Amino acid sequence: MASNSLKLNEDKTHIIWLGTRNQLSKSLPQSLTLWNGTVLQFSTAVKNLGILIDSQLTMADHIAAAGQSGFFQLRQLRLIRQSMTPVAVKMLVHAFISSRLDYCNQLFVGVSGRLLDKLQSLQNAAARLVRKFDCITPVIIIISRLLKS
């Protein structure tokens, strides 16, 4: 790093051990000391390109964070929905919710059904906000089929 005139930012540098629960339960070092005396602590989850990666690659932390921020956005939209047109509500739901669910969705391959159900509930709530007076069941069935395929 020094030969390329780069400096390590200790506040933004995170390291993580990846492995199964059994591998991580073994006695592993809790910190890493670099050549310049900088000590870095290992984290249980790190953020890279907006994705929270946990040590077992279960995506549980990322899904929890996406659900929390998604439901917050839906609550905010629900407060101002009466002053917007249905088209505007649909555009905002797509911008705030669908984009969160679609971003890096290939990382959800192999994720447990319990975690995917959390994302599905967020998508169902978003669909209800957009289609307040319509029967939402057919929309949910179509979305569920698309997610399973």
Residue 71 has pLDDT above 70, yes or no: yes
Euclidean distance between CA atoms 100 and 5, whole angstroms: 36
SS3 33: strand
**So what's the pLDDT on residue 127?**
87
DSSP per residue over 52-112, as a string?
Answer: EEETT---HHHHHHHHHHHHHHHHHHHHHGGGS-HHHHHHHHIIIIIHHHHTTGGGGTT--
Mention every residue, 6+ apart, whose C-beta is less than 8 A from residue 97: 70, 73, 74, 122, 123, 126
- Average pLDDT of the chain, as a whole number: 85
Confidence bin at 148 (pLDDT 50/70/90):
low
pLDDT at site 143: 67
